Structure 1
């Protein structure tokens, strides 16, 4: 099927399948799926600015479905999300403005500028998160080893980090408390700053903001991983909706292509959100980091080396393996939960 706005011919079933991958990973890790979708569309020959706008359009529908599930599971801090929304909207418009500046320099500058930023941020964030997740996993193993018979999952608790502790000690008014996140008091300005960074990346790169928003909420604000995922997803609903409208006015995005992707994403996001109930925050962050590194490699292959086919293979492998592991973790968690219920009911 030919998509005239994107200027490419793609099998719709491929787009639906891609949507499933995007939905599973997005519902599980709080990312809108742009980390996977933008490289995949770009590798098919879609211009970067069209890929960004299309990513935002499908992200809106998928984020709504995912946010509803996270709300049912109690994974959303509405206080933090309410403050983040205005900051993210300002950031989205700023990111879209940067793309317009790049478009004025020619299509080559758009692809190169977005590609450099995309790959750089993916790499830096993923390496930091992976390093930290491995440290927490090692700590959990040591604690479990000192208590024979205990499961390692019992000790998958993220410690209070120095940056959130110091930030929460700064009483720059107005301040709010977030009981669901275990935060007694934090400045509204700190949350707004995080939201603006998320929004800028949403408008510029077509990523849901979760790529940077999840680490910022966890490592800077001090929000537990599961609550951070749900809160980011809710913020993405508003930011991606605004971003879709803004990019549509500027001629960026193929709504028909986004519709096919959303069909798959609506299904996948349910699976991903459900999996967060049975997987520890450590594993969520570790998988987040590994998947982001793979997507960064795809961008480098396509944008800088011109290896479009290799880039497409890499990003699809990352998506398939990530989703397969999430589903495996979900089933393992369901079985573990069932065993625990049976043990508790046995005399």
Structure 2
């Protein structure tokens, strides 16, 4: 069944989009990564304009991060002072990224830019993960030298989660905000490992801080992409959010039962596959003439172009409400499935 996406101005099979959302959410929940690395190259492959792909991917993350953020807030995995630095620097990096996408889109080079970024960035990430899987533990001397460099950084500040240089969260925020703006990806690939290795935060706190930062960054970028680039399709965002929210709940349950090395291997293979797909699209597929965003005349598109500020704020509010409701339903279904499986085990025993 085809569904028309009013801002993207394309028709796509709705079951393909829902399935894509489920798959992306499942891997995201299982591996603890941002689903944008799988989602966005696939959407471009389906004919969605790259500028709409990136903007909408960020918009659907607004709702998708609510549940995780609230859970970590209850677990006290949020440092407000550290979060404020990550958010402010993320706004700066994100704003630069949005204006860069506008310049590249107007010049007709955004598709090439974003696919190149995916291809090379993910290739580097995949190779690094494979090397990490097969190499032996680093000598203590190398670790101590790196730690000495981090300890020598100026502008130390005592956050609730540790005492380290303010330059660390500023750097992390700038990079994660920029990547979210130009690639439509969450902070999991940057914020979580960076906080773990640079600020020495335990993984649960690093995940909590990543979710805390991204809920603000994605809302900010949704507004910016909607007003500057007119690249947010609310219909596409809601469909993807519905699929990814359900997928993430079950993916996280599966992820808790899988060996960490197997998880790393799956992640490395997945990232490398998407990198190859991006390389193929970049060098062997011609850009479709319809991939440049243009104003079309329907109610939602007219609203998005004529009242971009109100439209963008509306998308943020709708994403937050829809994300919360969908997440609650998904968790209830997961709980019922777990109870059902437990009863089956008891009967077998």
TM-score (norm 2): 0.71
In the other structure, the counterpart of 1:20 is 22
Q: Deviations over 1:183-216 (max 9, x none)?
A: x421111111111001001001111132333332
- Consecutive unaligned residues of structure 1, counting only runs of 5 or more, are 140-158, 309-333, 339-347
Among candidates 47, 50, 53, match of residue 51 of structure 1: 53
- How far apart, in 1, do the equivalents of 2:83 and 2:259 lie? 22
Q: Specify whether residues 241 and 186 from structure 1 end up closer, same or farther in structure 2 by C-alpha distance, changes over 3 A only.
A: same
Deviation for aligned residue 1:230: 3.4
Q: Specify whether residues 105 and 262 from structure 1 end up closer, same or farther in structure 2 by C-alpha distance, changes over 3 A only.
A: same
- How far apart, in 2, do the equivalents of 1:70 and 1:283 lie? 26
Q: Specify whether residues 25 and 297 from structure 1 end up closer, same or farther in structure 2 by C-alpha distance, changes over 3 A only.
A: same
1:54-133 mapped onto 2 (5 Å cutoff): 54-71=56-73, 80-106=82-108, 109-133=109-133
- Consecutive unaligned residues of structure 2, counting only runs of 5 or more, are 288-337, 343-349
Among candidates 176, 196, 200, match of residue 178 of structure 2: 200
Residue 175 (structure 1) aligned with residue 157 (structure 2): yes
Alignment check: 8 A CA contact 1:170 1:186 kept: no
Q: Specify whether residues 280 and 75 from structure 1 end up closer, same or farther in structure 2 by C-alpha distance, changes over 3 A only.
A: farther
Q: Specify whether residues 227 and 285 from structure 1 end up closer, same or farther in structure 2 by C-alpha distance, changes over 3 A only.
A: farther
* 3-state SS in 1 of match to 2:107: coil
1:277-296 mapped onto 2 (5 Å cutoff): 284-296=263-275
39-48 or 296-305, which deviates more: 296-305
Q: Specify whether residues 202 and 121 from structure 1 end up closer, same or farther in structure 2 by C-alpha distance, changes over 3 A only.
A: same
- How far apart, in 2, do the equivalents of 1:78 and 1:160 lie? 32
Alignment check: 8 A CA contact 1:56 1:206 kept: yes
Alignment check: 8 A CA contact 1:58 1:258 kept: yes
Deviation for aligned residue 1:69: 3.8
In the other structure, the counterpart of 2:235 is 256
Q: Deviations over 1:274-303 (max 9, x none)?
A: 556555665554443332212111111222
Q: Specify whether residues 133 and 115 from structure 1 end up closer, same or farther in structure 2 by C-alpha distance, changes over 3 A only.
A: same
Q: Deviations over 1:10-40 (max 9, x none)?
A: 1222222222222233334443311111111
Q: Specify whether residues 221 and 29 from structure 1 end up closer, same or farther in structure 2 by C-alpha distance, changes over 3 A only.
A: farther
Count of matched residue pairs: 285
Alignment check: 8 A CA contact 1:32 1:236 kept: no
- How far apart, in 2, do the equivalents of 1:84 and 1:163 lie? 26
Deviation for aligned residue 1:7: 2.5
Q: Deviations over 1:126-173 (max 9, x none)?
A: 2223322443xx66xxxxxxxxxxxxxxxxxxx994476224412522
Residue 306 (structure 1) aligned with residue 281 (structure 2): no
In the other structure, the counterpart of 1:243 is 221
- How far apart, in 1, do the equivalents of 2:32 and 2:221 lie? 17
Deviation for aligned residue 1:48: 0.9
Q: Deviations over 1:27-63 (max 9, x none)?
A: 3444331111111110001111111011111111111
RMSD (CA atoms): 3.1
- How far apart, in 2, do the equivalents of 1:164 and 1:222 lie? 12
- How far apart, in 2, do the equivalents of 1:121 and 1:241 lie? 24
* 3-state SS in 2 of match to 1:50: helix
Among candidates 271, 291, 297, match of residue 276 of structure 2: 297
Deviation for aligned residue 1:236: 1.5
Q: Specify whether residues 58 and 85 from structure 1 end up closer, same or farther in structure 2 by C-alpha distance, changes over 3 A only.
A: same
Deviation for aligned residue 1:4: 3.0
Q: Specify whether residues 99 and 307 from structure 1 end up closer, same or farther in structure 2 by C-alpha distance, changes over 3 A only.
A: closer
Alignment check: 8 A CA contact 1:31 1:233 kept: no
Q: Specify whether residues 280 and 70 from structure 1 end up closer, same or farther in structure 2 by C-alpha distance, changes over 3 A only.
A: farther
